[in-house]
Amino acid sequence: MSELVHQLLERNARKYPFEVAVRWPGGDSQMTWAELNRHANALSSYLQEKGVARGDKAALFISNRPEFLMAFFGILKTGAAAVPVNVKLTPDEISHILTDSGANSLVFEDGLRAAAEEAVNLCPGVRVALSTKELPSLTARYSAGDPEVKIDTGDLAEILYTSGTTGKPKGVLLNHNSIYLVGSMMAYKADIRHRDRCLHLMPLSHSAPLNLFLVGSTYAGATSVLGNFTPQALLELCHQEKVTHFFGAPVAYLLANRIPNISSYDLSAAKVWIYGGAPMSRDAVTAVMKNFPGKFMGVYGLTEAGPNGMALFPDEHPQYAGSIGCRGTVNSEIRVANEAGEDIAPGEVGEILIKSPTVMMGYHNLPEATAETLRNGWIHTGDLAEKDEEGYLWIKDRKKDLIITGGVNVYSKEVEDVIALCPGVADVAVVGVPHPEWGETVMALVVAADPGNPVKQEDLYKFCRTKLADYKIPRIIKFAGAIPRNSSGKVQKHLIKAGYRD
């Protein structure tokens, strides 16, 4: 039976009151389960006094710090839904989320005060704005007891705004039951145990870091180690904190893997290295595995599913690295269907569909988009995959990113995987751009490994000809200092296309 998400914290505070719940960089900076729960309770009491109640929405604008945990659990204890806001957003983007969600309160990181206050000034509906600087004083003034607010597991617990890689983000509605089930699934599948140490460097405003790994580690009673991602921080914190579990986007591993002295860090405490959020080729996975000792697990899912979906487990990596797996997780089902809605045969390409008790209630205030994505209980992911003879799925492209040139399909990921192997290439993204005769043509945006000695266009063309059919070879190659990505590591292809048109 499901529990309320904040009850996981309350249970740990009773079971392990003096054990460490959370650690973060900066000396011996840590907090016990009892202390974390007390801070969350005080914040909850304060918010209730200010009128925040069951059914409301309360936003948090905080990086990966202990105050995020206090605010997240404290908001849930009021019966309100938490609305995490990415700390890299501009005031206009923040105000859009505050207005769209209907948030009546905001807890913000004091170091981000200027952006928070500018956003709040644009949102008359936000009645309460509290800085993290004030949280310690609340704990001294308000009750440390668990609030007894009547809440149901079917109540809305979160509004998570999608990455917005194709435009305006949409608010995904998730209830307590969905979050509990997806967090407990992750703890089970990734073997997260009491006294393990889980490193959280990816933004906690995103679904996988928050629901899979923060909630999953809380479910298990594991210690959360907090930080904000840099390649050096990943290696240093794993070394210093004896981290057992880390989840990161593929780009996090690839950047850390380039650090020359990576072998000087002791990473041997790791039980499982987990990656997801974007496709990762077999060559990339294999390269990372050489320098990161331990087991690897790839996860695939959508925020709209909790996030939930499927996984490639450690014992499958030697043969199937680059695949996303062959079956749903313990509480999800997977189908791959063609345009007619029929299951595809091996060797065919179709859209991945996910069914699970963790799927969203819908998109906030977007009934038509909800009906398009969630049909008969199945999330239509928009991801295209090929099924092999053994049932393993291999991501080919986003449905919206499929390039049709002269009536022939080109899957951008296939082209990207080839160009990424070319000597002198550090990063690449492939998109379709308008063409007067063929409808679309293939364009590659390339980042050179050595800007002082960049790879030449003719060398790229020559390399592609050895590995790709002629119609798949980019007709346009452009160079850039970086590929535009959002904070979860996903390529923002709409920006690349817009830049080409400009």
Tokens for 168, please give them.
Answer: 């305006």
Give the containing element (helix H, strand E) for 412: helix 412-420
Quick one: CA dihedral 118, 120, 124, 129, positive or negative? Answer: negative
Tokens for 286, please give them.
Answer: 């294999």
Residues with Cβ within 8 Å of residue 483, at least 6 apart in sequence: 427, 428, 429, 445, 447, 491, 496
What global pTM score does this model have? 0.87
Q: Which domains does the chain have, with CATH numbers?
A: 402-501 (3.30.300.30)
Three-class SS of 182-240: HHHHHHHHCCCCCCCEEEECCCCCCHHHHHHHHHHHHHHCCEEEECCCCHHHHHHHHHH
Round to whole Å and give the CA distance between 439 and 67: 51
> Among residues 201, 200, 197, which one has the least CA distance to residue 223?
197
Tokens for 204, please give them.
Answer: 């906690």
CA dihedral 357, 59, 91, 22 (to 10 degrees): -90
- Spatial contact of 347 and 293, defined as CB atoms under 8 Å apart: no
- Spatial contact of 77 and 46, defined as CB atoms under 8 Å apart: no
- Spatial contact of 132 and 62, defined as CB atoms under 8 Å apart: yes
pLDDT by residue, tens only, the chain of 502 residues: 689 999 999 999 999 999 999 999 876 699 999 999 999 999 999 999 999 999 999 999 999 999 999 999 999 999 999 999 999 888 988 999 999 999 999 999 999 999 999 999 999 999 999 999 999 999 999 988 899 899 999 999 999 998 655 557 899 999 999 999 999 999 999 999 999 999 999 999 999 999 999 999 999 999 999 999 999 999 999 999 999 999 998 889 999 999 999 999 999 999 999 999 877 889 999 999 999 999 999 999 999 999 999 999 999 999 999 999 999 999 999 999 999 999 999 999 999 999 999 999 999 999 999 999 999 999 999 999 999 999 999 998 888 888 888 777 788 888 999 999 999 999 999 999 888 778 889 999 999 998 888 899 999 999 999 988 888 999 999 999 999 988 777 888 888 888 776 5
Give the containing element (helix H, strand E) for 241: helix 231-241
- Spatial contact of 360 and 172, defined as CB atoms under 8 Å apart: yes
- Spatial contact of 285 and 296, defined as CB atoms under 8 Å apart: yes
Residues with Cβ within 8 Å of residue 121, at least 6 apart in sequence: none
